[in-house]
Amino acid sequence: MPGPLTQTHKLFLAAYHHNWDDGTRALLRILDDPACDRATALLIYWLTKPGFYQQFSSPEEVPDFARRDHALLLTIEARFAADRYPDVIAFDPTTHAATADAIPAERGSIPNAMFRPSQGDVSADELLGHKVGERAILEACSAGRLDEVIAWVKTGPDINAKIDGDLPLACAARAGHVEVVRCLLDAGADPKKRVGGAGLNTLHWASVSRRVDVIHLLLERGMNIDIKGQWGRTALHGAAFCDPAYWLSAGMEEHTRFLLALGADPGITDCDGKTPLALAELIGNESAAQLLRAVTTPDKPAPKASKAPSATRAATAAGKTPKRPATTGAKRAPKRSKSRGT
């Protein structure tokens, strides 16, 4: 472990543990801090998932929900081109557990500088202060080693505290170890707690990984199949918003049908007003779009409200002779204009 934490160290840790549900404002403050180094900027850059934006040829093509994060990426790229950040912390984004899964197979338009490790006297892992016990429980949950999880729970840990930015329950759900998930839920783990750069809760993680048994268990424990995560999206939104080739090869069609069979509502909109069908169409996933069109009821215009009958029509309908207005010398009130404010 390093000695007393410097401001540079603190900025890296703040970026690592940032809650992405809170937006990018705090991240921009970190990047603007004079003590920010290349490792911190690289960490933020890759946690923003730049590979997703390779499909767009201009900022104008980026969908509204992603423009804020895209602007953050462009800011970091411009600052790297200007050599804004010094080397202080050693960090390799292509191999570190926090960012390795965000590295695309094809570099595309991503600048080469974003792939190069930063140098420094202290490594990112040393700075994060990994604890053997904490790492072990994440590994045990991912591997389904129930005995180790039971023993850990008996020590009375804060079961909802993040460990290196992850949660034991999320690890178990992603891996599909339903008995480990059950054990953690029994011990008080909160399945609604979000974790990861995508801001997913436990049901969303289980859905992304197509862990049917885990989803059934979570629903038995009271979770709503339409619970929303980051950007107001449900599990069905996530299933629809997939690369077309991956959607077909990874069995997402079957999984989407599974979610619908459980009662997932295809009409729910996210924070941008988009349904799962709209997201499938946005990403060009025609197979998913066809499936969702078949279960989506088209919007029907609301029937016009009938006007209330006038007193004369009402009296006539009742078989009565309507009264004629009194003829006096008083002038009738002028008709009011239909325009407001007159």
Per-residue pLDDT at 300: 41
The last residue of a domain, from among 127, 156, 184: 127
On whether both 200 and 122 belong to a single domain, the answer is no
Per-residue pLDDT at 297: 66
Q: Is residue 262 part of a domain?
A: yes
Residues above pLDDT 70, as percent of the chain: 84
User: Average pLDDT for residues 262-286, to the nearest whole number?
Assistant: 95
Per-residue pLDDT at 197: 67
* pLDDT tens figures, 302-321: 334 333 334 433 343 344 44
On whether both 25 and 91 belong to a single domain, the answer is yes
- Is pLDDT of 322 > 70? no
Residues 6+ apart with CB under 8 A from 145: 180
Task: Grade residue 207 by pLDDT with cuts at 50, 70 and 90.
Answer: very high
* pLDDT tens figures, 235-259: 999 999 988 888 888 899 999 999 9
Residues 6+ apart with CB under 8 A from 284: 244
Q: Among 66-75, 119-128, 211-220, 295-304, whose mean pLDDT is lowest?
A: 295-304
| Strand-pair partners of 122 | 89
Q: Which residue in 85, 84, 93, 98 sits closest to 115, CA to CA?
A: 93
On whether both 152 and 181 belong to a single domain, the answer is yes
- Is pLDDT of 179 > 70? yes
Average pLDDT of the chain?
84
3-state DSSP percent of the chain in helix, strand and coil, to 5: 50, 5, 45
Two tokens at 64? 């509204």
Strand duo 122-123 + 89-90: pairing: parallel
* pLDDT tens figures, 91-145: 999 999 889 888 988 888 899 999 999 999 999 988 886 544 567 899 899 999 9
Two tokens at 28? 């921009």
More confident position, 334 or 290: 290
Q: Which domain holds residue 54?
A: 7-127
Q: Is residue 110 part of a domain?
A: yes
Overall number of domains in the chain: 3
Q: Is residue 138 part of a domain?
A: yes
On whether both 29 and 122 belong to a single domain, the answer is yes
Q: Is residue 242 part of a domain?
A: yes
Residues 6+ apart with CB under 8 A from 209: 173, 174, 175, 176
Q: Is residue 286 part of a domain?
A: yes
The last residue of a domain, from among 256, 278, 296: 296
Residues 6+ apart with CB under 8 A from 199: 19, 20, 21, 229, 230, 231
* pLDDT tens figures, 280-294: 999 999 999 999 999
Whole-angstrom CA distances from 26 to 15, 72, 77, 152, 292 are: 9, 11, 18, 34, 37
On whether both 60 and 75 belong to a single domain, the answer is yes
On whether both 71 and 149 belong to a single domain, the answer is no
- Is pLDDT of 326 > 70? no
What CATH number has the domain bearing residue 152?
Answer: 1.25.40.20
The angle formed by the CA atoms of residues 91, 97 and 102, to the nearest 5 degrees, is 90
Q: Which helix (H) or strand (E) holds 90?
A: strand 89-90
